[in-house]
Amino acid sequence: MRPSHVLLAVLVAAVWGVNFVVIEIGLGHFPPLLFSALRFLAAAVPAVFLVGRPKVAWKWIVGVGLALGVAKFGLLFVGMDAGMPAGLSSLVLQIQAVFTALFAFLLLGERPARVRLVGMAVALAGIGVAAADEGASGPLGAFALVVAAAACWGVSNVLTRRAAPADALNFMVWVSTVPVLPLLALSLLLEGPSRDLEALGALDPSGAGALLYVAWGATVFGFGAWGWLLRRHPASTVAPFSLLVPVFGMSSAALFLGEPVSPLRWCAAVLLVGGVALASFGGRDRRAGRKTETGAGGAGGGANGPGGHPHGPGDQGAAPAGRGTGPADGREPVAPSR
């Protein structure tokens, strides 16, 4: 990769990592489900009028929109609002790589190689350490919600792999149109219209800035830049940069929010990131009686990114494969959470 492309990949990971801090700030201004709905509304409009018509079937757009937008981000925002720290959330979400491999095995018949199974076991050990650390200082219910968000992200990754979108930005913009109404309905039902109206009426520059960052920075820029990189470089070259997302997430949370990083949390980070690296990039999987390389993706994100993805990835969703990849060869990496 050219130095400028390396810098762009690191920048996207940084945007997706810092996004968790911005989500924390935004949750101080909006109820979580309303915040998630507004985030997708801002990401979709006016971009939906600029990216052209959808380039994949609507069933994939709706499926990913519900799994990623409603389920994954709804659970993530509710979990963080319930007390899950921003830095720890950026780390725990990376377990999506294990869920992606599991659902790919169950739904697509992709059998992971032994080295990937070892990586999945190491990553799960990291989640156990993180849970023990959080159980001593924070609400385990909120922790479980973020783990559930990672599982929903795994579902969306498998759906995105089946969709195989050729244009990551076009796909994510159209996916962003799907969650708006369901999330608004859930917000009115669970959070109440009075709370929603109060938040909208008290909107200030800090709240508006957080909303624009998660919508335009983490989603539109993050996934657009990630997809641009994947179209110019092999997926195996680009995807490892997604492992920087929790590094930026935890360090920015410590710097800007004063979140402590205990020795147990550092241990969990080493186990989880190392396990995800093995599960994402090690070995060769078997599918339909032949060998294929897979990239469970790293965080995602997607975009991911945000990997994510982005998400990414708190805003990471999924991104399409780079040159020479596609559904035929089984190499569909996902972007980090943003």
**Which pLDDT score is estimated for 131?**
84
Could you tell me what percent of the chain has a pLDDT over 90?
48
Task: Map out the domains of the chain as residue ranges.
Answer: 3-283
Q: How many C-alpha atoms does 310 have within 13 Å on its Cβ side?
A: 37
What pLDDT, on a 0 to 100 scale, did the predictor assign at position 136? 62
The distance in angstroms from the start CA to the end CA of the chain is 23
Q: Taking 80 as the threshold, does the pLDDT of residue 97 lie above it?
A: yes
Give tens-digit pLDDT for 272-317. 888 888 877 765 555 544 444 444 343 333 333 333 444 454 554 4
Local confidence band at 331 (pLDDT 50, 70, 90 cut-offs): very low
Q: What is the mean pLDDT of the chain?
A: 83
Q: In sequence order, which residues have a C-beta less than 8 Å from that of residue 303 and are 6 or more positions away?
A: 16, 172, 218, 219, 222, 223, 226, 309, 310, 311, 312, 313, 315, 316, 317, 318, 319, 335, 336, 337, 338
The 10s digit of each residue's pLDDT in 204-233 is 999 999 999 999 999 889 888 888 888 888
3 state DSSP class of 287:
strand
| C-alpha atoms less than 13 angstroms from C-alpha of 131 in its C-beta half-sphere | 15
Give all strands of the β-sheet with 110-111 in edge-to-edge order: 110-111, 285-287, 290-292
pLDDT of residue 338 exceeding 60, the answer is no
The letter for the amino acid at 112 is: P
Residue 328 has a pLDDT of: 37
- Residue 299 has what pLDDT? 35
pTM: 0.83
Residues 119-162: pLDDT tens digits?
889 988 988 888 887 766 678 899 999 999 999 999 998 998 88
